[in-house]
Amino acid sequence: MAASDAREPLPQFPRDFLWGVSTSAHQIEGAVDERGPSVWDAFTAVPGRVKDGTTAAVACDHYHRYREDVALIRELGVGAYRFSVSWPRVLPGGAGEVSAAGLDFYDRLVDELCAAGVSPVPTLFHWDTPLALADEGGWLRRDTAERFAEYAAVVAGRIGDRAKKWITLNEPAEHTLLGHALGQHAPGEQLMFDALPVAHHQLLAHGLAVRALRAAGATDIGIANSHGPTWPASASPEDTEAADFYDVLLNRLFADPLILGRYPEGIAELMPADDIDADLKVIAEPVDWYGINFYQPTKVGAPLPAATAAPTEFSGLTLPPELPFTPREIEGRPVTDFGWPVVPESLTELLTGFRDRYGDRLPPLVITENGCSYEGIDDQRRIDYLDGHLRALHRALEEGVDVRGYFVWSLMDNFEWAEGYRQRFGLVHVDFEDTATLERTPKASYAWLRAALRAQRA
């Protein structure tokens, strides 16, 4: 008997718990010639920026094969599909003229999902800023937040009659830090802490989009922020201070203004707002739930001594030595093919920590992403990862944390940003070598999750 067959069944989740899978437009859609250009198209055109030299011009060709992919979602047995809408597919110039063909695609996708009994959960922004807006300053400009709200209204006006659950932004922290501070994601800016206006303008865009969605009749709105526990490398004041700083960047810079209506201490005065209090009122526009993307905890220590300082490799990134913290290895834990430590109990720690920090101000939570990169179709390690994290999630429920849903990242292997196609997060294998077929093959983890969900409904 295989190890996956011998394990204890998952504990029972609430009957109305929402199960889903996630993807994003740029990572799977392809059909690059049938939309406007994005910052990622420009970024991947520069040699050396993507580790395997690839682009997402074809990706999984979901744009033309969405019916096949929806059939996989239906067969898996989840209740919801979290996808992102490509801003440059709907508004090729970022504003102004709307692409009828772009909106028609999402209209067809939503119809196909509804016919399959799967709830559509659109994310309005998953990092693919229209290149025309980026050329005008992008997220460094306040105007981009206003253009985003206009775009939100256009999309809601077309599919809002069927799409009831909405996500404004995906991981604004990563888009700020990796795309604008460190330059290792699009648009490739290396602004370091001068990138903070990008954070503020994304948060403002979220609040304005919430208002636009409400005006269009939406009643179930959230955001997807990435979070994880931060552990100091030691009890020394230097390591503790460094870990606290990292924790502000990852966990509080985006959560505090959304939930509490204020930035962490010392941050507000760094933001580009004439009236920061007025902006924070928009940013803290009430949401119906708060999404958490979770992958790993991070151990953080003080910067290395200047004499030995050098760029640090961390989670596939190269971190410059001038940062006021240094990530450290979490020893004694298995790692994914991405090198990320597998620590399921840290999900329980994160969720109970959010409850304790924000108290009755905390909206209901949804895990909007959780998953891992492993090679192979017989992916027992992914089964182990998902099993462990779902048990950790259930422990948080038992401890009174209000979590309403869980989305696996990802439905299928895809273009993993600066990694290209080297990292495989999917429940479904995609044959990227054969671009004529891009054959989809459900992995062992797909079968495991399908059986686990059937057991939940039994």
**Residues acting as catalytic residues:** 171, 369
Helices (H), ranges, 98-177: 100-115, 131-135, 143-159, 172-176
- Find the mean pLDDT for residues 109-118: 98
Q: Name beta bridge partners: 441.
A: 429
Query: Would you call 214 helix, strand, or coil by DSSP?
Result: helix
Please state, in angstroms and as integers, the Cα–Cα distance from residue 154 to each residue in 20, 95, 122, 201, 209, following that order: 25, 10, 13, 20, 11
Spatial separation of the C-alpha atoms in residues 103 and 301, rounded to whole Å: 47
* Residue 295 near residue 228, CB atoms below 8 Å: yes
* Token code pair at residue 100: 């009828």
Spatial separation of the C-alpha atoms in residues 186 and 39, rounded to whole Å: 6
Q: What is the mean pLDDT of the chain?
A: 96
3-457: what CATH class?
alpha beta
Residues 398-415 have pLDDT tens digits of 999 999 999 999 999 999
Query: Would you call 375 helix, strand, or coil by DSSP?
Result: coil
Which amino acid type is present at position 326? T
Spatial separation of the C-alpha atoms in residues 159 and 440, rounded to whole Å: 27
Spatial separation of the C-alpha atoms in residues 222 and 166, rounded to whole Å: 6
pLDDT at residue 191 in the model: 97
Length of the chain (residues):
458
Please tell me what DSSP assigns to residue 22.
Answer: E
Kind of pairing between the strands at 230-232 and 290-293 = unpaired
pLDDT at residue 306 in the model: 64
* Token code pair at residue 229: 């526990």
Spatial separation of the C-alpha atoms in residues 44 and 188, rounded to whole Å: 10
Kind of pairing between the strands at 220-226 and 290-293 = parallel
Which amino acid type is present at position 124? L
Indicate the pLDDT class of residue 312, thresholds 50, 70 and 90: confident
* Token code pair at residue 350: 């994160």
Residues 218-229 have pLDDT tens digits of 999 999 999 999
| Closest C-alpha among 72, 60, 118 to residue 442 | 72
* Token code pair at residue 193: 């802490």
Q: How many C-beta atoms surround the C-beta of residue 451 within 10 A?
A: 15
| Closest C-alpha among 201, 77, 127 to residue 456 | 77
| Closest C-alpha among 164, 163, 161, 153 to residue 212 | 153
pLDDT reading at 396 higher than 50: yes
Spatial separation of the C-alpha atoms in residues 218 and 200, rounded to whole Å: 24
What pTM value is reported for the model?
Answer: 0.97
Specify the residue for token string 């801003």.
Answer: 87
| Closest C-alpha among 339, 321, 340, 329 to residue 300 | 329
* Token code pair at residue 456: 């939940």
Query: Would you call 225 helix, strand, or coil by DSSP?
Result: strand
15's CB contacts (< 8 A; 6+ apart) are none
| Closest C-alpha among 388, 418, 437 to residue 50 | 418
For 18-155, strand residue ranges (E) read 18-22, 80-84, 119-125
Spatial separation of the C-alpha atoms in residues 196 and 309, rounded to whole Å: 25
Burial 211-247 (b: 16+ CB within 10 A, else e): bbbeebebeebbbbbbbbbbbbbeeeeebbebbebbb
Which amino acid type is present at position 295? Y
| Closest C-alpha among 62, 64, 46 to residue 54 | 46
The DSSP element (H or E) to which 351 belongs, if any, is helix 345-358
Lowest mean pLDDT among 204-208, 321-325, 351-355: 321-325
pLDDT at residue 3 in the model: 40
Residues 5-28 have pLDDT tens digits of 568 999 999 999 999 999 999 999
Q: Where are the domains of the chain?
A: 3-457
* Residue 53 near residue 419, CB atoms below 8 Å: no
Lowest mean pLDDT among 264-278, 315-329, 340-354: 315-329
Residues 181-220 have pLDDT tens digits of 999 999 999 999 999 999 999 999 999 999 999 999 999 9
